[in-house]
Chains A and B, each alone.
Chain A
Amino acid sequence: DQQVKQNSPSLSVQEGRISILNCDYTNSMFDYFLWYKKYPAEGPTFLISISSIKDKNEDGRFTVFLNKSAKHLSLHIVPSQPGDSAVYFCAAFNQAGTALIFGKGTTLSVSS
Chain B
Amino acid sequence: GAGVSQTPSNKVTEKGKYVELRCDPISGHTALYWYRQSLGQGPEFLIYFQGTGAADDSGLPNDRFFAVRPEGSVSTLKIQRTERGDSAVYLCASKTTAGANVLTFGAGSRLTVL
Contacts and interface: CB of A to CB of B under 8 A. Distances in A.
Contacts of A34: 101-102
Nearest to A49: B102
Contacts of B40: 104
Contacts of B59: 99
B54 to A, nearest CB: 10
Contact of B42 (A41, A42, A102): A102
A104 B101 contact: no
Size class of the A contact interface (CB-based, 8 Å):
20 to 34
Contacts of B56: 96, 98-99
Contacts of A4: 42
> Chain B interface mostly helix, strand, loop or mixed?
loop
A62 interface: no
Nearest to A99: B45
A105 B74 CA distance: 29
B107 A99 contact: no
Contacts of B93: 43, 100
A44 B105 CA distance: 6
Which 8 residue pairs across A and B have the least CB separation, nearest first? A43-B105, A102-B42, A98-B56, A99-B45, A102-B43, A104-B42, A46-B102, A43-B107
Given A32-B101, A91-B42, A98-B56, 17 more contacts: A34-B102, A36-B105, A42-B107, A44-B91, A44-B105, A45-B105, A49-B101, A97-B101, A98-B48, A99-B48, A100-B33, A100-B45, A101-B45, A102-B35, A102-B44, A105-B41, A105-B42
